[in-house]
A and B are shown apart, each in its own frame.
Chain A
């Protein structure tokens, strides 16, 4: 009973959320606050898509519950191959989020390719700027090029 009731409530909640978000997105600017203080951005089409994905997850869980499969039990019984696919999916999602965070800081900002030039890491290895930034976005603060020290790097 509990196994079916919880996903049913989650489905109803997400469905209701989605209707509210669609209505907000169509009619007026508003803040979602879907995750409390962590979500104070404006409601946009991305919010609708996100809530649609949440609803899809609730549907999958609900269907599994009515077929007699608990989510945790299913995961615990999953094969190594299934776990490998799950981990790969999580990794791909994390990578997508990380790359998405490297977007321009302003809509009007015209992005230029990273120019040639290299830096030397503390271990003595030289890396081009492009190679340095490939695995992770970087903020480089040039502290000391002139003779005099730079106060803000103190």
Chain B
């Protein structure tokens, strides 16, 4: 499972799938429960980050700045994760 393997590879960066908070989606993605968070319908994170279609990914830094992305599409997300994995690798 991609999210699970990314979580292990990218530590200490936490990996979260972001979903819409709907009962049907919770059921559909139940296997992501240990990691999932939900977009706030009222003050949407996706809207703030200009995520207009999925899949998309963004890296939030601890210093209040975006540290990577947003990127869209499976290929670009995999490339971003690859860059992060390289950056996390010990020198």
A residues contacting B by CB (< 8 A) are 32, 35, 38-41, 98-99, 101-106, 109, 111-122, 126, 129-130, 132-146, 149-153
B side interface size, CB within 8 A: 59
The listed residue (B29, B39, B77) touching A119 by CB distance below 8 A is B39
6 contacts between A and B (CB under 8 A): A98-B62, A114-B65, A140-B49, A140-B58, A142-B55, A144-B19
Q: Map CB proximity to A onto B52-91 as digits: 1 under 8 Å, 0 otherwise.
A: 0111111111111111100000100100110110011011
Asked whether B61 lies within 8 Å of A137 as measured between CB atoms, the reply is yes
Would you call the interface of chain B mostly helix, strand, loop, or mixed?
mixed
In the complex formed, the residue of B with least CB distance to A104 is: B67
Contacts of A137 in B (CB 8 A): 12-14, 59-62, 67
B residues contacting A by CB (< 8 A) are 2-3, 6, 10, 12-21, 25, 28-29, 32-33, 36-40, 42-49, 51, 53-68, 74, 77, 80-81, 83-84, 87-88, 90-91
